[in-house]
Amino acid sequence: WPQKYFDLGDDPYPSTASYLRSLSIATAPKAKVLVTGHRHDGGITVYRYDPEARTLTKEWVGK
């Protein structure tokens, strides 16, 4: 079950409207990484999760 929700913002806008069924989101739990596609330009955004602070930080945006 979710422990916390993170707003991924809209700059760039994530490529999915349903996070439960999307193939445009990938995770690497051991590396603490979340990757999403962009809705409009085909790029990707990489986020890093800090389990101690329970924060998600935008680390890289590829256009």
What DSSP assignment string belongs to 11-54?
TTPBS-S-TTT-SSEEEETTTTEEEEEBTTTS-EEEEEEETTTT
What is the mean pLDDT of the segment spanning 51-56? 92
Q: What confidence score (pLDDT) does residue 52 get? A: 93
Q: Dump pLDDT digits (tens) for 6-29.
A: 888 888 888 876 666 667 888 899
Q: What's the number of domains the chain is made of?
A: 1
Mean pLDDT estimate for the chain: 85
Domain holding 36, by residue range, is 1-62
